[in-house]
């Protein structure tokens, strides 16, 4: 493995917290499954945001901008309503994602 790809691999491991390990197989396998699902989710969101500045964000920055914000989730019989703060750093990204989801 060349040096640049090794650095990318180390950064990906550090950002996804996959370096943790326990002595048992099933907890490790489940933890790895959860981290793979989280990576897939963030990578999908980043691909949907290719026309914005977020296309170049690292996964930890994208996680902080999109997922680590305060909000209220209300579940109704026929829909789920997400209420976010009126002003937060990820608001333009959420607007872009909502437009993408509406068109899909």
So what's the pLDDT on residue 75?
93
Contact 54, 46 (CB under 8 A): yes
| pTM score over 0.85 | no
Helices 3-16 and 25-48 meet at what angle, rounded to 10? 100
C-beta separation of 45 from 52 below 8 A: no
Question: Can you name the residues that pair with 40 across neighbouring β-strands?
Answer: none
Pair of tokens at residue 99: 């437009």
Q: What are the tens digits of pLDDT across the range 8-61?
A: 666 666 665 555 656 688 888 898 899 899 889 888 888 888 888 888 888 888
Could you give phi then psi for residue 81, rounded to 5 degrees? -110, 130
């Amino acid at each position: 493995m060349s040096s640049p790809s090794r650095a990318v691999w180390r950064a990906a491991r550090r950002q996804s917290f996959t370096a943790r390990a326990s002595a048992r197989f099933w907890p490790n396998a489940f933890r790895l499954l959860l981290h793979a699902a989280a990576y897939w989710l963030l990578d999908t969101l980043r691909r949907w945001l290719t026309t914005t500045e977020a296309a170049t964000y690292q996964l930890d920055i994208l996680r902080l901008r999109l997922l680590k914000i305060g909000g209220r989730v209300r579940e109704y019989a026929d829909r789920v309503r997400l209420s976010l703060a009126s002003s937060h750093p990820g608001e333009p990204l959420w607007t872009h994602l909502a437009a993408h989801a509406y068109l899909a």
